[in-house]
Structures are given as structure tokens and as C-alpha cells.
Amino acid sequence: MRTARKGSVEMPAFMRQLVKETEKRVSSFFKGGRGGAAEGEQPGEGEKEEVIPSPYLDRPVLDKLAEEGCARWGLTYALGSMQGWRANMEDFHNCVPQLGGELADWSFFAVFDGHAGSSVAHHCSQHLLGHILATGGIGPEDDPEKVKGAIIEGFLHTDKHLHSVARREGWERGGTTVVATLISPYYIYFANCGDSRAMLCRSGQVCFSTEDHKPYCPLEKERIESAGGSVTIQRINGSLAVSRALGDFSYKGAENRTPSQQMVSPEPEVSVVERSPADEFLVLACDGVWDTISNEELCAFIHNRLRVCTDLRDVCTQVIDLCLYKGSLDNISIILLCFPGAPQLSAEALHQEAELEDLLDSKVAEIYDELCARGEEPDLLSVLTVLASTVIPGLPPGGGIQSKRNCIISAYYQRRETHKPTLPNGLGGS
């Protein structure tokens, strides 16, 4: 098959400036709220204006981590992650396709999205599964209530153990969201703590997805306020954007309240779905994915990509690029799990994909030549702008024109290369 043609993209200058200006305004707002100088007021003699480093880079880090594997019972999986526009990479993961022993037909996967540092996410990615299994509630009898209880207890034990480590290592400010799945021969268990998300596709449609834990959700807000906190600009005390997480111990000090009753709760929401032969694939991803694409769009896009790609790592890479091009400024991580019933390679779909890429090649050439004929500079942004307003049949569902941006960029540079002026012999060469 024809593979996706690779390219790189930079954030437009106006977007970089917008990010920087937004950071300045937000920083000024919070400094004023903490007793800092008011707008227009100069710092006092001997005082230095506080400089808050931007959490964003001038250009994204596009290097990707990719892994793949399989389980003996027919599951295949791939992981893709990228730092993107964030100044630091704070995402971690855990992929265990076979738990071993009497649980050899069980699998565990999880995505950890850290904030205020990566230490908590890294620690939890190494220890959460062990704490869950240590409860003794998971066994070959596969009792859903026992398994759900073991998962919750495992999360709470992880947070308790983490607290002692955090005090010793100075991680009180750090935290991590977690979305995980435990797959048994009969059930799929979902555990969500924060705003990362899991989504199950069955028969080509979204069958189940976890709910994000945001401070403004009514039940979450009620707990936060009962614990002495407030929800301001959709954040806990105007700062933290998630209402459940492991770590974040500065939000867990309310006296006479259980861990699950604190402003930030470490208790996951656990759901169980009975497995079906119609199950196709399952996605675990951080909010860097879900901020830019809906459950239904991602389900449709992956369903389509599986019919033209045999390498699941390539599918994950395409999802990451799609989210980047749709405007994600966060770290981006995704785990894609494919069941035996997942869509298979299709000769018809491959033919349609080839026709689409040929059409895009011709459209880029047509736009390039038209801009040249009008005396305009056919830069990449101009070509993309015109193409975005053009009706292109056959684009991947859920992905649109952004999902073929690498193909378009490659076609643009090829066209520009053919339009380079030819210099007389002996001139310009070395």
C-alpha cells in the first residue's frame, strides 16, 4: 500500500504570538491575585518582576515514541506518544498484554497524564498495577464486583503509598490523571481518574466511553466545595483543571474527610462492559487527543484507517498528527487495542486511498499554478487555505482535510521543486 508521506509543520507566527500574549495575560492576572503589582504599576525599588516560564515551546517536538505487541488470545496493540508544543513530556504508559500465571488471558493497559511535573505519572505507571493485583480481588473466577473493588482499592493504595514518597521527594505539587483498562476473557473493565478517556468501538460505533472528571461537573463541584475548595474559571481554586487524580496532595488536606471526599479524589470511576464478538477496538488517550476530536470522530477515523494500514503504530501516528494539526497544544498519547473483530485491510479501501492522494496531488498543483499565474507567492499557508475551502470527496471520516496534511505538504514541496528557476550552466552550482 502507499504509506503516508511525512512532513513537518510549524505553528503559524500569529498562533505563536497569540499563545505568548495569552500566557502574559494569565500570568499577570494570577500575579495580581496574589498581591502582585496591578496593571500599569511598576515594581517597587529593589523588586524584580516575577518571570513565569511559558509551558509552550516556540515549535513542537515532533519525535514520536511508538510500540506494538500482542497477546496470545488475539489482541494486538500499539502505542504512540509525542511531546508536541508542551515544554516537557509528562505522559507515561503501561502496556501488559498478558498478566501471567492464572491470569495469562488477562491484559492491562493504562495512560498516565502528569501535571506540574512528570515524577508522579512515572511513579504510578510503574506501581499502579502491582497495587491492584496485591488486593487479591482479581482471580480466574472473574467476579465483576470483586474486580471493580480491587481496582478502586488499588488506586487508593497507590495514592497512599505515593504520599509518603512525595513527601520524601518533594512531589506535593505534582499529580497525574489515569485511564486504564483491564481485559479478562469475559469482561472489559474501565478505570478513569481525571480527564484522560477510554472509548470502545463495537460494530463501527462508539459502544462505551468514560466520563471526564472536571471541577465544574455538578457532583465533582459539590465535593470540592464540601472539602473547603472553590471552582473558579472551571478550575479548583482557580488552578487545577481536573477533580480526580493521583498525587496533588496540596488539595487533599481537609480534616475528618476520607481520601475520596477531598477536593481532588484519587478514587477512579470503574465501569464494566461484557465482551462481544462485535468488539473492534479500544482507545486509551490523554486529553491532548480529546481536546481536539470527539469520540465519534475518532471512532470513525480509526475504523477507516484500519482498512488501509496494517501497522497499528502508523494508525497511532496518524491520530497524533491529526490532533496536532487540529490545534492540540498538549502532550499527545494514545494506546490502540484491536480485538479479533477489528476492521481488516480492504483492497477497495486501498484503491480509494490511492485515488484520494492522486486527487490531492493534482489539486495542490492546480492551486500552486493558479497562484503563480496571478503573480501571488504560492507559499504553503496560501495553498492550504485555498485547499481547505475546496470540496474534496473521499476524505477519511472523522479526519477531514487535516488528516491528509502530510500528504498535502509533501505534494506542495514537490511542486515547488519542479518550479525552481533553471540557472544557466556554470551559475549557482558548486
Q: Averaged over 304-310, what is the pLDDT?
A: 97
What residue ranges of the chain are covered by domains with CATH 3.60.40.10? Answer: 65-338
pLDDT, tens digit, for every residue of 85-109? Answer: 999 999 999 999 999 899 999 999 9
Q: Please give the Cα distance from 194 to 76 (Å, whole number).
A: 26
Contact 120, 175 (CB under 8 A): yes
pLDDT, tens digit, for every residue of 202-259? Answer: 999 999 999 999 999 999 999 999 999 999 999 999 999 999 999 999 999 999 999 9
What residue ranges of the chain are covered by domains with CATH 1.10.10.430? Answer: 347-418
Listed in sequence order, the residues at least 6 apart from 137 whose beta carbon sits closer than 8 Å to its beta carbon are 146, 147, 149, 150, 153
Residue type, 5: R
From residue 239, alpha-carbon distances to 177, 235, 236 in Å are: 15, 5, 6
What pLDDT was estimated at residue 81? 98
36 — pLDDT class (breaks 50, 70, 90): very low
From residue 268, alpha-carbon distances to 122, 173, 388 in Å are: 18, 20, 41
Q: How many residues does the chain have?
A: 430
**Is the pLDDT reported for residue 61 higher than 70?**
yes
421 — pLDDT class (breaks 50, 70, 90): low
CATH of 65-338, one of 3.40.50.300, 3.60.40.10, 3.40.190.10, 3.30.70.330: 3.60.40.10
Which class does domain 347-418 fall in? mainly alpha
User: Vertex 336, ends 179 and 343: CA angle to 5°?
Assistant: 140
**Is the pLDDT reported for residue 127 higher than 70?**
yes
What pLDDT was estimated at residue 92? 98
pLDDT, tens digit, for every residue of 157-174? Answer: 999 999 999 989 887 789
What pLDDT was estimated at residue 425? 58
Phi and psi at residue 332, to the nearest 5°:
-130, 120
Which position has the higher pLDDT, 265 or 426? 265
Helices (H) and strands (E) in the chain, counts: 10, 14
Contact 256, 267 (CB under 8 A): no
Cell 494570577 belongs to: 30
Question: Could you give the residue ranges of the DSSP H alpha helices within 135-255?
Answer: 144-169, 218-226
pLDDT, tens digit, for every residue of 390-410? Answer: 999 999 999 999 999 999 999
What pLDDT was estimated at residue 19? 43
